Structures are given as structure tokens and as C-alpha cells.
Amino acid sequence: MIQNTQVLFRREPRGLPTVDDFEIVEKSISEIGENQFLIHNRYLSLDPYMRMLMGGGWTYSGSSLSPGDLMVGRILGEVIESKNPEYQPGDHVVGRLGWQTHAISDGSDLDFKLEPKQGIALSAYLGACGSTGATAWVGLKVIAKVSRSDTVLVSAAAGSVGSAAGQIAKAMGCTVIGIAGGPEKCRVVTTDFGFDGCCDYKQAGLSEQLANVAPDGFDVYFDNVGGEVLDAALPHLNKGARIAVCGVLSQYNNDGPPYGVTNTRLIFDKSLRIEGFVLSAHRDKWPSARAELEELVLSGRLKYRETIAEGIANAPAAFIGMLQGKNLGKQLVKLT
């Protein structure tokens, strides 16, 4: 009988999670039923939204985890047994099936069945060609409505979503500036990902850095972090600029009062439009986004980096490291 290793939510963290907030268990896989299939999970995606599901006052997606629940997360897996004619052994699938080595599905809980393309690694379908790239695509094209003449600012630019957002904007003909933490990440943002410039938020004077790198201001801000970085960016946005809020990474592990943005009057003064979004609200756009992202990867216009932990037992530590910014690009766990 196949054993399924799972990572469960044990308790609500106080600030930054610890490995003791998770529990690793072994469970036997039951027989698949009619129209079901068994998936052997190959990769697990670790993403900041998972921290919100662990509690602390967040209401992301209208639900949160309870002690004993399977940790939520997307996997890329391979069908190894099937009683469903639409899914055969050897098929690869992507879905939010949780932190586990195996899963049983009937297809209704999947994002898509993968049609691998030569030149694109399977792991990219959890990143640049998957939900990560699609999030960047939706934020730019649907929420911010980026046009070729725009100057675009992207925070967390060395991360998986931020790096994709900047490169998609560059492919559209925009001037793109990133914000990242530390000289090495800023180097990667400009050298590897092709941004036109990058500001280091870990250095003093972020507002001055933004003024120097883009004296004519920004038309679009793709925001992944909120907090003080958003505060610093607001004075440098042009009249009528659009802000797509993808996340508030700076606040996820804050166990004190939330940061209060001080420059909100500029939203009125500059007629700014600010809109938060989640990818699940735009499922109808996923196929179009994925097709374009595949083309960008194959053409070399969308490059990506991955930080890969080995083994599901290391998923909690990898997740905590990602929340601290220790990863470069997409944080994955190789399960097999």
C-alpha cells in the first residue's frame, strides 16, 4: 500500500512561522474510486499567500486553516493510476492539492492538465508558465492595463512574481525599474532579468533612489510588499498612475499593529487608481496567459530562477526561508 507523506497545519504562528507550527504525518492511500486517478506529486510550490491562511487576522480567500488541516499549496504531479478516461498514467497535472506526496483527484480540483513543450522544464508550470507568471500577467494587463509607453515600477523584483512582471512589461516595450533587497538581488534583477534599473530597499533613502532612477516618475506600480515601500513609491507616481496590489509581503509576519501608509492623500492628489487582486478571480484568463508565457520563455524574453528544496520534510523550513527573502525566484520543493 502506498504511503502518503503530508504536512499539516499545527498551530497559528506568532509572527514568523517556526517548524513547530507544522506537523509531518504518514497516511495510507485508499483505493481510487470510479472516475478518479492517483497522482504522484513531483513538485510543491511555496508562496506567500499560505502565510495568510495560517491566521493572524487575515481573511485571504475568505477562509483560514484549522489545526490538523493539510497545508494548502499547488503541486505538479504525474498520474500513476487512473479510472478516469480523461487522465492516463504519465499525464502531468497542476492543482492546489496541498503539501503531500500523493493525491487522489477526479479532475475537478485541478488547474490544468499539462501539455509539456520541448524547451520548458516541468517545474516552470508552477512558476513562470504557471500561477506565478499568470499572476504577473493579470496584474499588468487586466488590473493595471499597461501600455507600451509606460514606466513601470515593480517591488520584490527578484521574486517569482516580481521578476515575471518586469519581464512581461519589458516585452511589451515598457521601461521597468525594480525594487529588491541587497546588491546581489539588484544585480540579478538588471543583469539576468533585464530590468532597466533596480533600487535597494535595504539601503537608506529608497525615495531618493527612486527619484534618481526615474526622474519623470512611474505610470504603473506593481506592488508585492505594501508597507514602507508603498509609502516611498507613492510620491514618485505620475498623475493617473495605476497600482496593482498583488501582495503585502512586508506585513504577513507582523504580530504588532499593521503599518499605516502615511501618503494616502496622494491617491486623491494624483488621481491614482489602486486595486488589489487575486489570481483565482481571473480563471478565464489563465489559458491565454499561459500560452503567452510559454512563448516568452521559449523566445528567451522571460527568464526565471528557482530555489529548490529537496524532500517534503524540508518544506516548512523552505517556506520560512521564503518569507524571510532567502529565496531567489520561485521557491519549490522537489518531492521525488
Do 275 and 156 fall into the same domain?
yes
Total domains present in the chain: 2
Sequence-ordered list of residues with C-beta below 8 angstroms from that of 203, at least 6 positions apart, any chain: 209
Residue 290 domain-assigned (yes or no): no
Do 189 and 71 fall into the same domain?
no
Distance CA 201, CA 177 (A): 13
Do 104 and 153 fall into the same domain?
no
Residue 292 domain-assigned (yes or no): no
Do 255 and 165 fall into the same domain?
yes
Distance CA 233, CA 29 (A): 50
Helix, strand, or coil (residue 102): strand
Distance CA 1, CA 94 (A): 24
CB atoms within 10 A of CB 18: 14
CA-wise closest residue to 246 among 219, 225, 262:
225
What pLDDT is attached to residue 22? 98
Do 165 and 86 fall into the same domain?
no
Residue 291 domain-assigned (yes or no): no
Distance CA 223, CA 201 (A): 14
What pLDDT is attached to residue 60? 65
Do 33 and 112 fall into the same domain?
yes
Any idea what the CATH number is for the domain that residue 63 is in? 3.90.180.10
Do 112 and 208 fall into the same domain?
no
Sequence-ordered list of residues with C-beta below 8 angstroms from that of 36, at least 6 positions apart, any chain: 82, 83, 84, 104, 105, 106
CA-wise closest residue to 74 among 45, 38, 39:
45
Do 166 and 263 fall into the same domain?
yes
Using an 8 Å Cβ cutoff, are 17 and 320 in contact? yes
Write out the H or E segment, with its range, that includes residue 52: helix 49-53
Do 10 and 73 fall into the same domain?
yes
Do 170 and 222 fall into the same domain?
yes
Q: What residues in the chain have per-residue pLDDT under 70?
A: 57-62
Residue 296 domain-assigned (yes or no): no
Residues linked to residue 46 through DSSP beta bridges, in sequence order: 331
Do 196 and 246 fall into the same domain?
yes
What pLDDT is attached to residue 62? 64
- Containing structural domain, residue 142: 131-280
What pLDDT is attached to residue 58? 67
What pLDDT is attached to residue 211? 98
